[in-house]
Chains A and B, each alone.
Chain A
Amino acid sequence: MQFKFTRRKFKEDPTIVKHWRENSKAIEKFQFVYNFIPHPTRKKRATLLSNKAIFVYCGIIILVTAALRIVPKFFPGVLGYASNIVVKDLLYYTNKDREEANLPDLRLNAKLTAAAELKAKDMFENGYWAHVSPSGTEPWDFIIGENYDYIYAGENLAKNFSTSKEVVQAWYSSESHRSNLLSANYDEIGFAVVNGVLNGYETTVVVQMFGRPREPSMVASVYEENKVLEEEANKTTAMGQEEQKVPTAQKVITSVTSMSKPKVDVTIATKSLTLVFGGFVSSLLTLDLWYSKKMGISKFSGQTFAHLTMLLIVIVSVWFVLKPGLVL
């Protein structure tokens, strides 16, 4: 309304020219709005929607992403993934999936749990994320190291997840991991949920180890399972009361906790970046659509509505579909 009024006034009252000439700042202020709305005479989009501006946004996003990659190398542990993963819930969701597939529940075994814990700590200490360590140590070495005599054994890994349910869901969605989850060859299971700094990022690693003992009579009883669960719960409670960090040769590992709270949560940081840029450009495009229609501005440019639709799809996908976490 303001600009329409000014132009009408200009036609009716030529003295307004004098006013503009004497007030260069007023002209600057008048021109400033064209950073946000399309120019009616130039028939162009807002300056902040120009190709140059979009190029700059792309550059900023690349720089921020690079910074999020570089920062952990200089300040390990500052960036990370917040999580709340509990062994009891991991066992519950695993057995729930097995029940739905008409398979017997897996029992929590103390030796497999200890082997899983050793594997998780080994990954933090030696800075790797793999089934086989850089020195060639295999998952079976940890299981045998705990004197677990097996005929079948398997391992699933997960990191950067927020909840126990998401971890099991991710394993279930991957064919190779699902074959472990739903294998009739296993009777027992062991979990480790360990927080620490892996490759500069504070994260929670989950190790799931499966096994069938050579002697069927060796399968853990309900009593033994409850004992393991109790021990896990006690460790979690102790960690909640007091921050217990176990210094190793090079890294700092928080042993068997359920909560991880880094200073900067990478998931929230990256999602916020998407929302800020996607939201800002979407708002400008909406303003462009509305103002162009209102003022009858016909621009020689790309389809504003299509750009807007694409950006809204990005925002919705990033916020509601994308979940953090990797499985191996």
Chain B
Amino acid sequence: MENIKEHLTEYIILFIALFIFLVLFIVFRFDRSAQTIISGAGSIFYILWGIIHHAIRERISRTIVWEYVLFGLLIFLLFYTVLSF
């Protein structure tokens, strides 16, 4: 939790974005194409959030960029696996 207090602004932005994505997911719960786009947009947002967050704090490296790209990809694939059937 100390970590969140330290990065409060960034985490507030992340939580607001996640809330919006979740609401959109519920609104479009019967539209697979819209849900795929929302999950893709959410994953890209998360990758960018992570990179910007670390860049602002000058704690960025190639490994960290890859970490966010891979986590973003994992999140999208988990959604896509269910949405594509």
Residues of A within 8 A of B (CB): 51, 54-55, 57-58, 61-62, 64-65, 68, 160, 169-170, 173-174, 266-267, 270-271, 273-274, 277-278, 281, 300-303, 305-307, 309-311, 313-314, 317-318, 321-327
Contacts and interface: CB of A to CB of B under 8 A. Distances in A.
A300 B61 contact: yes
B79 A314 contact: yes
Contacts of A169: 30
Given A51-B67, A54-B74, 18 more contacts: A51-B66, A58-B73, A61-B77, A65-B77, A65-B80, A170-B30, A274-B79, A274-B81, A300-B64, A303-B7, A305-B4, A309-B18, A310-B18, A311-B75, A318-B79, A321-B25, A321-B29, A322-B83
A306 B81 contact: no
A310 B71 contact: yes
Contact of A270 (B11, B22, B73, B85): B85
A318 B14 contact: no
B70 A54 contact: yes
Contacts, number: 111
A53 B24 CA distance: 31
Given A65-B81, A68-B85, A273-B81, A57 B31 contact: no
Contacts of B29: 173, 321-323
Q: Which of A61, A300, A302, A327 has the largest count of B CB atoms less than 10 A from its CB?
A: A302
Contacts of A273: 81
B78 interface: yes
Contacts of A313: 18, 21-22
Contacts of A68: 85
A309 B14 contact: yes
Contacts of B59: 300
Contact of B30 (A174, A278, A303, A306): A174
A101 to B, nearest CB: 18
Contacts of A61: 74, 77-78, 81
B30 A173 contact: yes
Interface residues of B, number: 42
B35 A322 contact: yes
Which of A309, A317, A321 lies at the interface centre, i.e. has the most chain B CB atoms within 10 A of its CB?
A317
Contact of B78 (A160, A306, A314, A326): A314
Contact of A303 (B3, B77, B84): B3
A160 B85 CA distance: 9
A271 B82 contact: yes
A204 to B, nearest CB: 15
19 contacts: A54-B70, A61-B74, A61-B77, A65-B77, A65-B84, A173-B30, A271-B82, A273-B81, A274-B79, A301-B64, A303-B7, A303-B50, A306-B50, A306-B53, A307-B71, A309-B15, A311-B74, A313-B21, A314-B78
Nearest to A267: B85
A284 to B, nearest CB: 12
A317 B80 CA distance: 12
